Amino acid sequence: MRDGMSSVSHQFTPGNVADIARGLDRAGIPTIEVAHGIGLGASSIQYGFAAATDPEYVRAAVDAVDNADIAVLYVPGIATLAELQGAIDAGITTVRVAVHCTEADCAQQPVEWAKDKGLNVMTFLMMSHKLEPAPLAEQAAKLDSYGADVVYVVDSAGAMVPRHAGERVAALRQAVSADIGFHAHNNLGVGIANALTAAENGATFIDGSLRGLGASAGNAQTEVLAAAFERAGWDTGVDLFPLVDTAEHVVAPLMTEPQIVDETALILGYAGVYSTFFHPTKRAAKKFGISTREILLELGRRGVIGGQEDMIVDVASELAGRTYELPARAGV
């Protein structure tokens, strides 16, 4: 649900969150992630203001469920430990600490702090496609040593195909004692296939989002995951039909646009660019009169990562052959 906030400009209300969480809990989903789409503490002019505060979203979800754990995403440099404490006070039992795939060291403080607080700690190696399996496994081993309960291969750009997912999960499986997770985006249309391949290679935690709601092309679609895993012979412990009902009657009416692989989403995955660049790139393309394709391909060539969204305007300005200037303030 947290990633899905990016598709609705972070405008789910606490009531919306409660309704979705209730349906997921009824279906047997064990962990539900809530709050701002970028993560805890991200409601700002930089990332977009949410309709409510993170603790309000957490409390709404906690009050709506009987069995599921409620989680938040913690990105070092965006969230603070004080904000994480606020989420604990509101009722979370799980935190997911996300760092760029080469920067596992940045997770040590929040992981160890959260473990001391008694939280279940999942960790994300974002943009996992940027590292080959062996060096990715080395980063995962660091997270394991800090005490992470789960280490995720995260396809933040939707740039992987099944072979990439399988190889990385298999490498992590050999390197860590923690459980392995996989988080898919669907930019190349293979999110479900990637998730199945990840499970076949040792992943036991698979992320999904109802209706695929998520940044850019969206995530692996939870209800489709449930059906596909059942058809493949896996016992997930999840009841398909409450998922379908919640997706159809609760989530679908809240969607502001179809969750599809359009040109921007496709090129974003093809170029290996972080999914949150999706809407800012569309805005920059319109402003500078150039195509999103040109911008994303150049961003991909430059190897940008999450947090470098300011590069979008720089690149668009360069490609358009003019310098972007802020409008002068009145009286200056």
Annotated binding residues for Mn(2+): 3, 183, 185
Q: Which residues are annotated as a binding site for substrate?
A: 2-3, 156, 183, 274
3-state secondary structure the chain: CCHHHHHHCCCCCHHHHHHHHHHHHHHCCCEEECCCCCCCCCCECCCECCCCCHHHHHHHHHHHCCCCEEEEEECECCECHHHHHHHHHHCCCEEEEEEECCCHHHHHHHHHHHHHCCCEEEEEEECHHHCCHHHHHHHHHHHHHHCCCEEEEECCCCCCCHHHHHHHHHHHHHHCCCEEEEECECCCCCHHHHHHHHHHCCCCEECCEHHHCCCCCCECEHHHHHHHHHHCCCCCCCCHHHHHHHHHHHHHHHCCCCCCCCHHHHHHHHHCCCHHHHHHHHHHHHHHCCCHHHHHHHHHHHCCCCCCCCHHHHHHHHHHCCCCCCCCCCCC
Instruction: Extract the annotated binding site.
Output: 2-3, 156, 183, 185, 274
